[in-house]
Amino acid sequence: MKKMTCNKTGRHFHRTNIFYLQRLDAIRAMLDSTSNIDSPVNSGDREFLMNLAIGTPPESFAAIMDTGSDLIWTQCEPCTQCFSQPNPIYNPQDSSSFSQLPCFSQLCQALPSSTCSNGCQYIYNYKDGSSTQGYMGSETFTFESTSVPNIGFGCGENNSAFGGSNGAGLVGMGRGLLSLPYQVNANQFSYCLTSVGSTATSTLQIGSLSAPAGGSTMTTPLIQNPQKPTFYYLGLNDISVGGSPLNIPQGTFALNSDGSGGLIIDSGTTITYLVNSAYSMVKQAFTSQTNLPAYTGPSVGFDCCFQLPSDTSNMQVPSIVMHFNGADISLPAENCFIKVSPEVACLAIGGAQGTSVYGNIQQQNFEILYDLSNNVLSFTPTQCGSSS
Active-site option among 25, 32, 38, 66: 66
Number of Cα atoms under 13 Å in the Cβ half of residue 72: 28
Specify the DSSP element, H or E, that contains 16.
none
Give the C-alpha separation, 286 to 274, whole Å.
14
The answer to whether 223 touches 262, Cβ cutoff 8 Å, is yes
Active-site option among 266, 303, 328, 371: 266
Active site residue 66: yes
Query: Any residues with CB less than 8 A from the CB of 326 and at least 6 apart, and which?
Result: 218, 219, 220, 221
Active site residue 70: no
**SS3 state at 17:** helix
Bond from prior residue into 245 cis (ω within 30 degrees of 0): no
The answer to whether 143 touches 153, Cβ cutoff 8 Å, is no
Q: How far is CA 28 from the centre of its chain?
A: 23
The answer to whether 15 touches 136, Cβ cutoff 8 Å, is no
Query: Any residues with CB less than 8 A from the CB of 20 and at least 6 apart, and which?
Result: 101, 102, 105, 106, 138, 150
The answer to whether 218 touches 377, Cβ cutoff 8 Å, is no
Other beta carbons within 10 Å of 371 = 17
Give the C-alpha separation, 54 to 86, whole Å.
15
Give the C-alpha separation, 210 to 208, whole Å.
7
Give the C-alpha separation, 137 to 150, whole Å.
9
| Residue among 136, 139, 142 nearest 123 (CA) | 136
Task: Give the catalytic positions in this structure.
Answer: 66, 266
